[in-house]
Amino acid sequence: MAEPTPEQSITFADLGLRPELLKELSALGYEEPTPIQAAAIPVLISGHDLLGQAATGTGKTAAFALPILQVLASGDRGREPVALILVPTRELAMQVSEALHRYGRSLGVRVVPVYGGQPIGRQLKSLEMGVDVVVATPGRAIDHLQRRTLKLGSLKVMVLDEADEMLDMGFAEDLEAIFAQTPTTRQTVLFSATLPKRIDAIARKHLTDPRRIQIVDEAHPDEASKRVRHSAYIVQRSHKAAALGRILDVEAPTAALVFCRTREAVDSLTETLNGRGYRSEALHGGMSQDQRDRVMARLRGGTADLLIATDVAARGLDIDHLTHVINYDVPSSVDTYVHRMGRVGRAGRDGVAITLAEPREHRMLKTIEHVTKKKISVEKIPTVADLKERRLDLTRAALRESILEEELDGFRVVVESLSEEFDLMEIALAAVRLAHTAIGGPDDEEDIPEAFVSSAPKGQSREARPNRNKRAASGSSAGMARLFINLGREAGLRPQDLVGAITGETSLSGRDVGSIEISGRFSLIDVPDGAAEEVINALRNTKIRGRRATVRRERF
Ligand code: AMP
């Protein structure tokens, strides 16, 4: 199915969603559906099965969550769940549950997330009280099915989210066992970032005449002629605002357009940036024409350097002197990326396109690269040292300019009188310090931690890697660190428990985890060297199979 271009304004109301849901979406500041939502929601509302290719960041959660809520709103609720959403990790289970709560607030939906690592008692209680939607990792879903605390007889919708990740994590058998307990009348939805053969096989077996939706766009050859530098930074959500500040300091744009997904995000980022001394203005669909005009006048007049906007609000804007376009959030489709980036590099000018991506969103960057045929270089967030250097550069440039202006005679008397007491170098250093302080700049003391991102090529499964579940004689493979965990088979530990705990508690994805060996009393697992400390800390602070584990680097 073709994707709507950003110019074709499809609204959430056009998709057939109920007014309660529309109200909630508007309150959240969502201005229009993302392409995957525009394509998937009508299909799901009409009851079809769906095979969708979409990565994190495209808005796929709402694409399946809203139609589920629509079913619930029509009053189809009892004690047993109407919908089951299977996800690969605990982190995603929590995110998806939260999203359902958010979108379905006015409906009072009962959503229970079910994942390993949380005491089963609490989940039992919630399930017993009656539930509309269960969001589960496959392992824990199986546990509950075996205890008969999860019953799927009334299920109407089953969703597999990030299905390729679930297969990579070894959940294939668990998925089959879960499917076997669901009514064949169910609607089945499968979302996956990649569609390898194994996903196709699942779709053929369990989906009935599915509609296929692939959010992949045509290449845009006119982009190739533009002189735009594309770069990206991988950063945890909590560090995004600070990272943007650093990037702005180093890039020093003449004028930048910063895109956010929602009105709320626009307002809050504008406030944060202004609080840090940047001159930014917000622009979103909730503003009157008058307010918009004032904002644009401030930008054109140079009293603001940054415009923080949603896609809808920025439509049709033409800002001549724009040097930078920044995706504060990864765009929800390649077309959106191309459209946003079209604002710079006009008329043969140089331009810079910068994207901030969370570690889980790195696949979207790969897709954008693939479709636009443009290399997006992943850069390191400027460090405190980089910033200091940049600020000294600015001071040096300002002093140079001042020397060239030659109107310095009025200060000669100060230098001459000081030179009787100090040497010229000392006087110059003190003057530079004063100038440097006066030019100013944010004084961040702390470096922003680097977020780790998977380097495994798209579509590569962990099973395909050498070494899996086998310990190499020479110890861990290159670039990997081997960790020792004092829990093994006797504690009931399975590879997916370790992978689940790691992906749930750290920035790693299932693909980053290397070989796993589970012995009777202990386990060994390979993780990327750069992420070893993060994994050790995370595993020490969480319970695996209900127990605290000792975790350390294996020393050979
Ligand atoms: P997902 O790809 O489902 O993980 O969604 C990525 C992010 O986009 C989440 O933070 C959502 O809250 C947000 N989002 C989803 N749909 C929209 C929309 N139509 N407008 C603005 N933000 C959205």
The string of pLDDT tens digits covering residues 378-425 is 998 888 788 788 788 888 888 988 888 878 888 999 999 999 999 999
Query: Contact 489/517 with Cβ under 8 angstroms?
Result: no
Question: Residue range 255-282: average pLDDT?
Answer: 92
Question: Residue range 355-367: average pLDDT?
Answer: 90
Which stretches does DSSP call E strand in 442-497?
480-485
Phi, psi of 143 (to 5 degrees): -50, -50
Distance from the Cα of residue 279 to its chain's centroid: 26
Q: How much is the pLDDT for 443?
A: 57
∠ at Cα 333 (260, 305), nearest 5°?
A: 30
Q: How much is the pLDDT for 224?
A: 42
Higher-confidence position of 494 and 148: 148
Range 12-214: architecture per CATH: 3-Layer(aba) Sandwich (3.40)
CA distances from 450 to 76, 196, 446 (A): 46, 31, 12
Q: What spacing in Å lies between the alpha carbon of 364 and ligand 1's midpoint? A: 13
57 C-beta closer than 6 A to ligand 1: yes
In terms of CATH, what superfamily is 221-379?
P-loop containing nucleotide triphosphate hydrolases (3.40.50.300)
Higher-confidence position of 543 and 210: 210
Query: Is 90 exceeded by the pLDDT of residue 438?
Result: no
Q: How much is the pLDDT for 195?
A: 87
Angle between helix 424-439 and 384-405 (nearest 10): 110
Specify the domain boundaries for CATH 3.40.50.300 within the chain: 12-214, 221-379
- What is the pLDDT confidence band of residue 5, given thresholds at 50, 70 and 90? very low
- Give the CATH number of domain 465-553; options: 3.30.70.330, 3.40.47.10, 3.30.565.10, 3.40.50.2300: 3.30.70.330
Q: How many residues appear in the chain?
A: 556
Which stretches does DSSP call E strand in 412-528?
480-485, 516-518, 523-528
Least confident of 1-10, 498-507, 541-550: 1-10
Q: What confidence tens digit (pLDDT) does each residue in 198-253 have?
A: 999 999 999 999 999 987 544 444 544 467 899 999 998 889 999 999 899 888 88
- What is the pLDDT confidence band of residue 18, given thresholds at 50, 70 and 90? very high
Report the half-sphere exposure of 431 (CA within 13 A, side-chain side). 18
Least confident of 171-185, 211-225, 352-366, 461-475: 461-475
Share of residues in the chain with pLDDT > 90 (%): 43
Q: What spacing in Å lies between the alpha carbon of 154 and ligand 1's midpoint? A: 29
Higher-confidence position of 428 and 466: 428
Angle between helix 412-419 and 424-439 (nearest 10): 130
Work out whether strand 523-528 and strand 480-485 pair parallel, antiparallel, or are unpaired. antiparallel
- What is the pLDDT confidence band of residue 196, given thresholds at 50, 70 and 90? confident
Specify the domain boundaries for CATH 3.30.70.330 within the chain: 465-553
Angle between helix 138-147 and 120-128 (nearest 10): 60
- What is the pLDDT confidence band of residue 338, given thresholds at 50, 70 and 90? confident
Which residue puts its alpha carbon closest to atom 8 of ligand 1? 59
Share of residues in the chain with pLDDT > 70 (%): 89
Query: Is 70 exceeded by the pLDDT of residue 429?
Result: yes
261 C-beta closer than 6 A to ligand 1: yes
**H/E element, 532:** helix 532-540
62 C-beta closer than 6 A to ligand 1: yes
Query: Is 50 exceeded by the pLDDT of residue 547?
Result: yes
Mean of the per-residue pLDDT values of the chain:
85
**Residue holding tokens 């919630």?**
126
Distance from the Cα of residue 206 to its chain's centroid: 29
Q: How much is the pLDDT for 6?
A: 42
CB-count exposure of residue 69 (10 Å: 0-12, 13-18, 19+):
buried
- What is the pLDDT confidence band of residue 444, given thresholds at 50, 70 and 90? low
Query: Is 70 exceeded by the pLDDT of residue 348?
Result: no
DSSP bridge pairs for 52: 191, 213
- Of 514, 524, 522, the C-alpha closest to 489 is 522
For 231-292, give the secondary structure using H, E and C.
EEEECCHHHHHHHHHHHHHHHCCCCEEEECCCHHHHHHHHHHHHHCCCCEEEECCCCCHHHH
Q: How much is the pLDDT for 473?
A: 33
| Probe target for ligand 1 pocket from 26, 61, 165, with the most ligand atoms within 8 Å of CB | 61
Q: What spacing in Å lies between the alpha carbon of 30 and ligand 1's midpoint? A: 8
Tokens of 276: 């840090």
Q: What spacing in Å lies between the alpha carbon of 94 and ligand 1's midpoint? A: 15
Least confident of 165-174, 225-234, 445-454: 445-454
Query: Is 60 exceeded by the pLDDT of residue 119?
Result: yes
Question: Residue range 510-528: average pLDDT?
Answer: 82
Sequence-separated (6 or more) residues with CB below 8 Å from residue 179:
158, 206
Q: How much is the pLDDT for 472?
A: 35
| Probe target for ligand 1 pocket from 25, 26, 34, with the most ligand atoms within 8 Å of CB | 34
Helices (H) and strands (E) in the chain — how many of each? 21, 20
Tokens of 434: 């004063």
33 C-beta closer than 6 A to ligand 1: yes
Q: Which atom of ligand 1 lies nearest, measured to the CA of 31?
A: 20
Rg (CA), the chain: 27
- Of 108, 32, 164, 118, the C-alpha closest to 454 is 164
DSSP alpha helices (H): ranges in 30-119?
35-45, 60-73, 90-103
Higher-confidence position of 223 and 313: 313
Distance from the Cα of residue 55 to its chain's centroid: 10
Tokens of 242: 């600070």
Q: How much is the pLDDT for 441?
A: 61
pTM for this one?
0.65
Query: Is 80 exceeded by the pLDDT of residue 87?
Result: yes
